[in-house]
Amino acid sequence: MFTYSLLYFLVFWMVTYLLNRKEMMKDPKPKRFPSVSVIIPVWNEVKTIKRCIQSAVDLRYPGEKEIIVVDDGSTDGTSKICKEFEKKGFIKLITRDKGGEGKHVPLNIGVKAAKGELISTMDSDSWYDKDTLMHCVGHFDDSQVMGVRTSIKVAEPRTALQLAQKVEYIFGLFLAKTFDFFNSVYVLPGPGGVIRKSFIEKHGYFKDNITEDMEMGLRIQKQGYKIMSSINAVTYTITPAGFRSLFRQRLRWLTGFIENFFEYKGLWGKGVLGAFLFPMTFLLMPSSILFVWTAMFKPAINFFSYAKRLHLINYDLLPFILGFNLSDLSPLLLINSTSIVTLMLMPISLFMIITAYRMVGEKNGVVETALFLFLYPFVLSVVSISSFYLSLRRRVTKNDSHKLWVKT
């Protein structure tokens, strides 16, 4: 089921791209430049906060711009760096002596203090490209557009997992742009996402939700408005370097998806988002169990079964060789319909990855693509199974929000 669902999913979006490829890179030219408030909630990010704030200061934007940093009780020297920017008049700093209530709290404090017509949120471990806002604001000339998501790229990947994530992020921004054509974008990511302040004031502030950016995106969809995606509006983020940190991040993402999937069940069956994308993404998670069983555990069981048979005949290979039949290896090699479909996925996935790299103007690497295609699915399948189980058991509680909120 996993491989068939994924094949259908990829073919659908590949056809969407082919039919709309001339429109993929276009952003509307702004008719005006509304005021923008950049809000940066931060907690213990002494290594990255300076670069984050400086990128907001360096944004090229002819309209009015303000930068609000909300320090959620940092204890590692983050506050000192923020105060240096405040003294220079670059930012408005709001300091909370005691934080720990979740990311939504400093976000909402920033929104309430903001004077801009548009709000751009920025995670403290991420930063803007200089022209990010210029590519976003033109979309807001359409009164139905309530948000614009940026194209998030992995900054300075070093480890194998970060290289795999680099491909994942580029592939993801390609998919997000194709969602535009069906009004199916349902996440407004923390790194650089832009939203109308009027929407927040009318329909509510950020909620106590472990994936508050997804919840806000779904709220926009529920109200019948649009979120657009801009490939040219680039932001950069530091991704988890090791398995443990990646596991925690993706556990939060996927658990948050499941929580929001049920919270916004009113969207089920409505449009491409509710009738196709939403349920397809949900079904891919439990289907990961089958993928892990088929690709990992079943071959291992078959291998040990053959080893046991050889042990029983004292490893006398002559009878085994004389009676050899290729069909005997089919359980071991998994020569079946699932493996055939899996092989079909490879050229389609490669085509879409190469296309995505060309769109963003980056050179595709063989090593990172191989890691993404052959190693990363196993990692994500383990995370998917865990998050699906924990979400159903309600093991992720509100107490987890502060220690997990930094990564988007």
Where are the domains positioned within the chain? 23-269, 277-397
Flag the least confident range among 110-119, 190-199, 344-353: 344-353
Q: Per-residue confidence at 377, pLDDT binned at 50, 70, 90?
A: confident
Rounded CA-CA distance 103/368 in Å is 32
How big is the CA angle at 379 (ends 369 and 392), to the nearest 5 degrees?
140
Domain 23-269 superfamily per CATH: Spore Coat Polysaccharide Biosynthesis Protein SpsA; Chain A (3.90.550.10)
Q: Per-residue confidence at 406, pLDDT binned at 50, 70, 90?
A: very low
Q: Which residue has the higher pLDDT, 335 or 343?
A: 343
Flag the least confident range among 15-24, 109-118, 208-217: 15-24
Q: Per-residue confidence at 225, pLDDT binned at 50, 70, 90?
A: very high
Bridge partners for 94 per DSSP: 70
Flag the least confident range among 52-56, 121-125, 314-318: 314-318
Predicted local confidence at residue 400, as pLDDT: 46
> Got the DSSP string for 281-339?
HHHHHHHHHHHHIIIIIHHHHHHHHHHHHHHHTTT-HHHHHHT--GGGGHHHHT-SHHH
pTM of the model: 0.85
Q: Per-residue confidence at 44, pLDDT binned at 50, 70, 90?
A: very high
Predicted local confidence at residue 288, as pLDDT: 62
Find the mean pLDDT for residues 26-49. Answer: 96
Predicted local confidence at residue 399, as pLDDT: 42
Find the mean pLDDT for residues 10-30. Answer: 89
Predicted local confidence at residue 286, as pLDDT: 62
> Got the DSSP string for 228-273?
EEEEEEEEEEPPP-SHHHHHHHHHHHHHHHHHHHHHTGGGTTSHHI
Q: Per-residue confidence at 199, pLDDT binned at 50, 70, 90?
A: very high
Q: Per-residue confidence at 298, pLDDT binned at 50, 70, 90?
A: low
Predicted local confidence at residue 285, as pLDDT: 65
Say yes or no to pLDDT of 404 above 50. Answer: no
Residue 356 per-residue DSSP state = H
Q: What is the pLDDT of residues 154-167, one digit of tens each?
A: 999 999 999 999 99
Say yes or no to pLDDT of 215 above 90. Answer: yes
Say yes or no to pLDDT of 9 above 80. Answer: no
Predicted local confidence at residue 206, as pLDDT: 96
Predicted local confidence at residue 301, as pLDDT: 67
Give the max Cα distance, the chain. Answer: 84
Q: Per-residue confidence at 282, pLDDT binned at 50, 70, 90?
A: confident
Taking the CA atoms of 379, 381, 384 and 386 in sequence, report the sign of the dihedral they define.
Answer: negative
